[in-house]
């Protein structure tokens, strides 16, 4: 008979993660080396409140003054201390003032959020974020450290329209935090200069198949491939495609790869500058070398 043996699971490596949910809660998940075991929820910040559901989150994991930003269903972007959950400020993204809620947020909720990592040590600002609504209204806002509960808390801001049709589903900011890309249902991937609020590139749909049937754009996730070059971007679609674009040379994909049959929901770049990791709606994970398109 075959011989069997029991192997003890080493559990997760030491980690600390922050998760959010549709009830507006922020949960701290930790796993420790000893005793070995699964990750557990060790803290919960906030109280259940469906109108304050978290739609997006972004962490500026700085050595000094780290900040967690969360975009809520009521249109408010909150800045919190990621170490203890203390609320530092709450800003109405659309109104541009410190406000508890926005009635228009139900018609056009926030879809994406990025909290900028760059931060001067002597800065009077608590943080600066880029948020975008489902209908394509993008905002860049700065929040001051002092008087964070008053209208004076909101510093310089700017806004622009990413798209006049379709539904924005993702955005991504390059490593230098100078460029942002957006995409969604009915919206081709497009690249913007954040400083000038100007569009510098937009994708073009791939050519039709042998029957000249075209697929409407529906992008679900994207990332910049290399930290040193904002011109190469990877975008994923609802019809399970991973596409590489070189914005310096053409508008159509350089490489397009199909992966199984489920919509791709997440993508992250590898530090090596040529590989990406993707995750689907069914929980499938994969890594692609975007130089060849091989999994």
| More confident: 244 or 97 | 244
Structure tokens at 277: 């990791």
- 92-115 tens-digit pLDDT: 987 655 555 556 678 899 999 999
Is position 83 within any domain?
A: no
Query: Long-range contacts made by residues 100-103, C-beta under 8 angstroms, separation at least 24?
Result: 100/74, 100/76, 101/51, 101/74, 101/75, 101/76, 102/74, 102/75, 102/76
Is position 253 within any domain?
A: yes
| More confident: 292 or 210 | 292
Strand 54-60 relative to strand 40-45, pairing: unpaired
Provide the 3-class DSSP secondary structure of residue 60.
strand
Separation in Å, CA 152 to CA 89, 125, 130, 144: 12, 11, 19, 8
pLDDT of amino acid 152: 47
Is position 208 within any domain?
A: yes
Which structural domain, as residue segments, surrounds residue 226? 200-295
- Please, which pLDDT band fits residue 216 given cuts at 50, 70 and 90? confident
Strand order in the sheet with 285-289: 264-269, 275-280, 285-289
pLDDT of amino acid 199: 97
pLDDT of amino acid 103: 60
- Please, which pLDDT band fits residue 262 given cuts at 50, 70 and 90? very high
Reported pTM: 0.87
- 116-158 tens-digit pLDDT: 998 765 577 889 999 999 999 999 999 987 645 554 455 568 8
- What domain count does the chain have? 1
Is position 27 within any domain?
A: no
Is position 286 within any domain?
A: yes
């Amino acid at each position: 008979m075959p011989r069997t043996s029991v192997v003890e699971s080493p559990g997760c490596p030491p980690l600390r993660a922050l998760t959010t949910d549709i009830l507006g809660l922020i949960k701290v998940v930790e796993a420790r080396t000893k005793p070995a075991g699964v990750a557990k929820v060790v803290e919960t910040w906030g109280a259940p409140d469906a109108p304050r559901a978290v739609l997006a989150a972004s962490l500026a994991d700085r050595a000094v003054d780290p900040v967690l930003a969360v975009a809520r269903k009521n249109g408010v972007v909150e800045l919190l201390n990621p170490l203890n959950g203390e609320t530092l400020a709450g800003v109405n993204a659309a109104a541009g003032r410190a406000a508890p809620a926005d009635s228009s947020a139900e018609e056009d909720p926030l879809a994406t959020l990025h909290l900028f990592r760059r931060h001067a040590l002597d800065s009077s600002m608590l943080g600066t974020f880029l948020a975008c609504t489902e209908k394509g209204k993008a905002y860049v806002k700065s929040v001051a450290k002092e008087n964070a509960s008053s209208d004076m808390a909101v510093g310089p801001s700017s806004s622009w329209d990413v798209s006049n049709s379709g539904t924005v589903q993702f955005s991504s900011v390059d490593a230098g935090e100078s460029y942002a890309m957006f995409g969604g249902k009915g919206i081709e991937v497009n690249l913007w200069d954040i400083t000038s609020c100007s569009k510098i590139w937009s994708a073009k749909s791939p050519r039709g198949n042998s029957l000249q049937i075209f697929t409407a754009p529906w992008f679900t996730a994207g990332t910049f491939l290399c930290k040193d070059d904002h011109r190469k971007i990877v975008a994923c679609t609802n019809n399970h495609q991973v596409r590489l674009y070189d914005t310096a040379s053409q508008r159509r994909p350089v490489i397009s790869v199909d992966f199984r049959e489920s919509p791709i929901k997440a993508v992250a770049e590898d530090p090596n500058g040529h590989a990406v990791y993707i995750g689907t709606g069914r929980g499938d994970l994969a890594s692609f070398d975007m130089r060849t398109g091989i999994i």
